[in-house]
Amino acid sequence: MVGLYGIGGIGKTTLARALYNKIVDDFESCCFLAYVREASNQYRGLVGLQNELLREILVDDSIKVSNLDIGISIIRDRLCSKKILLILDDVDTSEQLEALAGGRDWFGPRSMVIATTRNKHLLAIHEFDILQSVKGLNDDEALELFSWHAFKTSCPSSDYLDLSKRVVRYCKGLPLALEVVGSFLHSIEQPKFQLILDEYENQYLDKGIQDPLRISYDGLEHEVKENFLYISCCFVGEDINKVKLMLEACGCLCLEKRTTKLMNLSLLTIDESNQVEKVVYKFGFLRNNGSCHPFIEKVGLVQKQLL
């Protein structure tokens, strides 16, 4: 079982789909369950996803699961001898994993389950064999992705090269940001292109970027949200132990538990020097696990303004 984790928009789904397409022919049956978090909150929820899983693997549209327990029983009984490839995209609760891939013995030998999530801890408690953090793109990859969306070619023209490199620096390797900004700037003439880029750099955060990043934030308890805002807005660059002492002095409790939760959700990372920011960029991302991603910091700033 393989788990891919990282912040929203970092490319977990894209990577999972690429893996799926590359190895799908090695399996007897396969199923890609997209948007598990969203689908589980809709009508029929997890039962509907169980039905989809069984129908795709068994190629039988007559299967009708009526409740979760029956679905679990059918999945274990009918799929335990099949070598399958199962992708669970955007998982965010234990219930989802327990309903769709509750144990290795549910599927046949040499089966593979790949799950994507924002929550590393979720993968750990379900004993995934491999936990892989998904990092951002390097500058060359980021420039190419932006160029495809902005100019429909792999490289910007010389007239737009410097502006495009500014976009790459702004997006910090986040594929979602590169796609959103690139699509918005498509067919924009150079003077207006520069004005819009100035607005992005001056704290404007596109709704198409902010909304996916807010999902992790919105799922936090109120006290953890407050700690996130304090850290992302006030303590970037500080030693995490010093940060905890300062927050404790302000009356914040359970900081070890709360900061651990933020780290599990990729909203906060700590570098080898124990700092909330030791910013060394590689692959356009914070290589040394050194702070909130710049876009996460901007979400924090936006939320602080609303408090």
Q: Which tops the pLDDT comparison, 74 or 270?
A: 74
Report the relative pairing of strands 29-33 and 84-91 from DSSP bridges: parallel
Q: Kindly provide the b/e burial profile for residues 53-82, where b requires at least 16 CB atoms within 10 angstroms of the residue's own CB.
A: bbbbbbeeeebebeebeebbebbeeebeee
| In the predicted structure, residue 106 carries a pLDDT above the cut 80 | yes
Structure tokens at 3: 């788990």
Side chain identity at 305, as an amino acid letter?
Answer: Q
Average pLDDT of the residues in 198-213? 71
Q: For 243-267, write each residue's pLDDT tens digit.
A: 888 778 777 777 788 888 888 777 7
| In the predicted structure, residue 291 carries a pLDDT above the cut 90 | no
Q: Which tops the pLDDT comparison, 208 or 240?
A: 240
Q: What is the pLDDT of residue 204?
A: 59
User: Is residue 244 within 8 Å of 275, Cβ to Cβ?
Assistant: no
Q: For 22-72, write each residue's pLDDT tens digit.
A: 999 999 999 999 999 999 988 889 999 999 999 999 998 888 998 999 999
Q: Which tops the pLDDT comparison, 86 or 169?
A: 86
User: Is residue 50 within 8 Å of 76, Cβ to Cβ?
Assistant: no
Q: What is the pLDDT of residue 296?
A: 55
Average pLDDT of the residues in 6-20? 92
Q: For 85-100, write each residue's pLDDT tens digit.
A: 999 999 999 999 999 9
Mean pLDDT of the chain: 83
87 Cβ contact list (under 8 Å, min separation 6) = 16, 17, 20, 31, 32, 33, 34, 113, 114, 115, 116
Q: What is the pLDDT of residue 293?
A: 55
Residues of the chain with pLDDT > 90, as a percent, come to: 48
| In the predicted structure, residue 137 carries a pLDDT above the cut 50 | yes
User: Is residue 83 within 8 Å of 113, Cβ to Cβ?
Assistant: no
Average pLDDT of the residues in 193-222? 76
Q: Which tops the pLDDT comparison, 251 or 82?
A: 82
Q: What is the pLDDT of residue 93?
A: 93
Average pLDDT of the residues in 111-118? 96
